[in-house]
A and B are shown apart, each in its own frame.
Chain A
């Protein structure tokens, strides 16, 4: 580990009503991977935005390569060698790989952009990084993993000395993550300072040298990764030890009635002859690899995508579900994996979102009954422990976990008996994750029936009463929680692939 390349001292930043950063300290050495951790809303991204000049700090100082600096925008930071690889990929889908890498600083021949030279330079860059990507491919044709590699290549082409990875692994497959780690290790060898923001505890242990934890905008502490345990880090993040006990046996009564029966459902390649039953008070886990057809199955049941054939029974009655409206009428609520796109209307308030699916109940004549809307929303804000200053807060201002709770509230207000949770804790930090788990267990205990689609093995094992495994559009097996092991699930999940 080399000398310090970047130090952020006593950084303070307030937004109207929020003390976003409270005298935070952070530093990175050359040749070091330094993890920055904390729950959503802890201030990690804000701190990095202050570093790269997207936000202006109220007080404190940033020392970079021995000199005090203040960048005014991302460009200035880039030019000085401080680059962020953003969580949401910042690529222009319609342009090629090389055009993206050199965007904003194209090589020119007269007034013409020299695409040939850009392709050559991009190729050299990929060779240096040992990445196999065609510089002339259109960006939107690449997988998310490859796109991320391009983003990293772009960062490196800036002669970066400090690279910030903002939750780089969130959208990557296991193999892609390994490739990412290889690149990060190479960069560490080359004496760069690397900041690694992630929620995944396992990765932190594998790839980082030090860990700095933030909580509620404040600095909690810095640990040497090798000398601490996961629990140490979690404790620092949430300030208390938590975690729901994993299930060892099914909590469902043996004679619990079947509330949802899906029979020979077909919908395109991703849903082939899917049949299963869901019982009252059950949490039915849906496991499988990415692209196994779980989300597609859920969407077909919910009426969001057209079905080709198959029957659905709710409480023994056959129901025709052709639109989400039909599904909601039948008492089925769907919590999408992509909250921002399908789950909440972020520019509306907590109250407006909570009653979105039940509007007709809160309308008196032509007016919305604000009082009743507020009361019911408050009730669920309290019972779900949603962290929001008021029910009039815009959802966009809430953290991921709390947005998820607003979606749950929406379906509870609607009295849905069957809830489909699609990746309920994606992008949510440990503390909030556990709250969502508790909530799901509570809902099940109250007699709601839950289908939980999850790609996280621990989540499946922790939460499910029974597990359905899918592979390439087919159900390949069903396991009770008493008999399940990771190996059994993986066997079923890969059954059709070999």
Chain B
């Protein structure tokens, strides 16, 4: 390819490629549901869509890093429940301050993330297998942490309930989705990390050509672990969002959350074979899934359909990626 051809980028690429298309999809979906159902148009619906999106968005931001290394983290869903139960147990049963409970949730997430990282980077287990195992482990650990009972973090009105207003604050008689502001800030921060710091750059390098990264003298083992630590850290943050939005956290749940997060990241343009991806894309991609999840019941399609449709959308997103690669290869 000569330099002339290089300069010739499509308008689509300039607008951000897949991200832009997915953003359009989000808008179209929202418009469709809003037209189809008067109930969907209500402010409370929008509020609840946002409420239920936070923990998935946070997981998706984190899991983008392992995905870019051409790996995956399946432990974030059950992990999230586990971290929430552990922190919540200390708060509710042992009387720890809420802030400390939240810290425990996050540290727990980091610890499991580091474990994943060590298994994958040092012990060289395939990421799928390693995180499938920690998925099972965190599921069991969660039940043990809460002695198999559901945990209800303090309600908004109860002492210590302040933390729920991190995500939804009531001013006067109106509730505001404050959480969305934090999400936007976090997305901006992590996009910076991915594109302008070593951690991000080496994450891409590992996913694109690991051998080259090793031969360039990069401490690949360390940065490979870091990708999973980031994923674990965000699963920890997601557990706080979950604790704050839901009244009760039930042990034994959480399996499947990771698929919504991974699906969102991939719809948003993370390459299915590693090496490329974006945080903004993951955010937008998750909203496709959240809109389908919330919107389809409003037009009379139940949860089963939502899963089938999400699956189909995901196949479409991966196909787009693969077809794009095939074109480039020609």
Contact = CB atoms under 8 A, between A and B. Distances in A.
Interface of B is mostly: helix
Given A90-B215, A94-B208, A112-B196, A103 B201 contact: yes
A104 B6 contact: no
A143 B1 contact: yes
Interface stretch (A70-78, A203-211, A315-323, A393-401): A70-78
B144 interface: no
A482 interface: no
Contact of A75 (B205, B217, B275, B328): B217
B217 A78 contact: yes
A115 interface: yes
B6 A95 contact: no
Please list the 5 inter-chain residue pairs (A to B) with the smallest Cβ-Cβ separation, ordered nearest first: A75-B217, A90-B212, A104-B216, A94-B208, A94-B275
Contacts of A113: 196-198, 201
Interface string B290-302: 0000000000000
A137 interface: yes
12 contacts: A90-B211, A90-B216, A92-B208, A92-B209, A94-B275, A103-B205, A105-B217, A106-B201, A113-B197, A137-B3, A137-B6, A140-B328
A93 B275 CA distance: 8
Interface string A59-78: 00000000000000111001
A22 interface: no
A221 to B, nearest CB: 31
B92 interface: no
A86 B211 CA distance: 11
Contacts of A86: 215
B218 interface: yes
Contacts of B196: 112-113, 115
B279 to A, nearest CB: 16
A141 interface: yes
Interface string B183-223: 00000000010001110010011011101111111100000
Contacts of B1: 141-143
Contacts of B328: 140
B269 to A, nearest CB: 13
B324 to A, nearest CB: 12
B201 A74 contact: no
Contacts of B208: 92-95
A10 interface: no
A17 to B, nearest CB: 23
Nearest to A136: B6
B197 A111 contact: yes
Given A74-B216, A92-B212, A93-B209, 4 more contacts: A94-B204, A95-B208, A141-B1, A141-B6
A21 B214 CA distance: 24
A137 B6 CA distance: 8
Nearest to A105: B217
Contacts of A73: 217
B240 interface: no
Contacts of A112: 192, 196-197
B276 interface: yes
Question: Which of A93, A106, A134, A140 gathers most chain B CB within 10 Å?
Answer: A93
Contacts of A413: none
Contacts of A95: 201, 204-205, 208
Contact of B209 (A90, A111, A142, A143): A90
Nearest to B218: A104
Interface string A10-52: 0000000000000000000000000000000000000000000
A134 B213 CA distance: 22
Contacts of B209: 90-93
B215 A74 contact: yes
A92 B6 CA distance: 18
A454 interface: no
A92 B213 contact: yes
B213 A103 contact: yes
Nearest to A54: B215
A99 interface: yes
B281 to A, nearest CB: 14
A74 B275 contact: no
A141 B3 CA distance: 10
Nearest to B212: A90
Contact of A92 (B192, B197, B205): B205
A94 B210 CA distance: 12
Contact of B204 (A75, A88, A90, A92): A92
B3 A103 contact: no
Interface in B203-249: 204-205, 207-209, 211-218
B218 to A, nearest CB: 5
B6 A134 contact: yes
User: Which one of A73, A99, A104 has the highest number of Cβ atoms from chain B below 10 Å of its Cβ?
Assistant: A104
A402 to B, nearest CB: 24
Q: Which of A93, A94, A95, A141 has the most CB of B within 10 A?
A: A94
A113 B194 CA distance: 11
